[in-house]
């Protein structure tokens, strides 16, 4: 039993000695971060590849890029983490681009806009019984 404990301790000590760099999303170097002002969709895809996510409603392309270094089992350091958003018009030209630094997520402000909830505005009986007995579009008889 004592030998197994020693082997486990040695394994954890050796596993903590290795540094591991990992990338998520697109891999960018410093030059890639400097030159992200693309003119159209074709150049964007040729330089960065296909996006991580495409918003079909607003026609936006989202790219994610992260580089992290694992120094030990308990310590992971994120070197950079970015989200690139490119809005594309009907002519496949990039009309707007934004970069969000995910490491500074605490600085992002959330919107105060809310979706209206009609259930709150209705009364208790109407919530419970819903549309029981109500027929839309039919004339009522006295």
Residues 58, 87 contacting (CB under 8 angstroms): yes
Per-residue model confidence (pLDDT) at position 135: 54
Residues 25, 68 contacting (CB under 8 angstroms): no
Residue bearing tokens 């419970």: 128
At 138, is the pLDDT very low, low, confident or very high (cuts 50, 70, 90)?
A: low
Of 70, 77, 79, 76, the residue nearest 28 (C-alpha): 79
Q: Span 86-112, mean pLDDT?
A: 80
Locate the domains of the chain by residue range: 16-104
Per-residue model confidence (pLDDT) at position 19: 76
pLDDT of residue 32 exceeding 70, the answer is: no
Total residues belonging to the chain: 142
The pLDDT tens digits of the residues spanning 48-75 come to: 888 888 988 888 999 888 888 887 666 7
Query: Mean pLDDT over all residues of the chain?
Result: 75
Per-residue model confidence (pLDDT) at position 70: 80
Per-residue model confidence (pLDDT) at position 114: 67
The pLDDT tens digits of the residues spanning 102-130 come to: 877 666 666 676 666 655 555 666 666 66
Per-residue model confidence (pLDDT) at position 122: 59
Residues 29, 77 contacting (CB under 8 angstroms): no
71: tokens are 């120094």
Which H or E element spans position 16?
helix 2-16
Strand residues in 2-133 grouped as ranges (E):
20-25, 53-55, 60-70, 76-88, 94-101
Is pLDDT larger for residue 15 or for residue 60?
60
Of 28, 45, 123, the residue nearest 81 (C-alpha): 28
Integer CA distances (angstroms), 73 to 14, 76, 79, 94, in order: 11, 8, 17, 42
Per-residue model confidence (pLDDT) at position 111: 66
Q: Span 3-25, mean pLDDT?
A: 76
């Amino acid at each position: 039993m004592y030998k197994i404990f020693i082997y486990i301790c040695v394994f954890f000590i050796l596993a903590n000695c290795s540094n591991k760099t990992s990338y998520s999303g697109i891999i960018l170097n410093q030059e890639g971060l400097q030159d992200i002002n693309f003119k159209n969709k074709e150049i964007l895809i040729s330089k960065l590849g296909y996006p991580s996510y495409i918003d079909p409603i607003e026609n936006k392309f989202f790219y994610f890029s992260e580089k992290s270094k694992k120094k030990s089992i308990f310590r992971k350091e994120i070197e950079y983490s970015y989200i690139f958003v490119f809005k594309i018009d009907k002519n496949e030209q990039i009309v707007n681009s934004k970069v969000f630094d995910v490491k500074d997520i605490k600085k992002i402000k959330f919107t105060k806009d809310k979706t209206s909830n009609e259930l709150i505005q209705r009364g208790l009986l109407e919530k419970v019984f819903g549309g029981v007995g109500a027929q839309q579009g039919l004339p009522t008889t006295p």
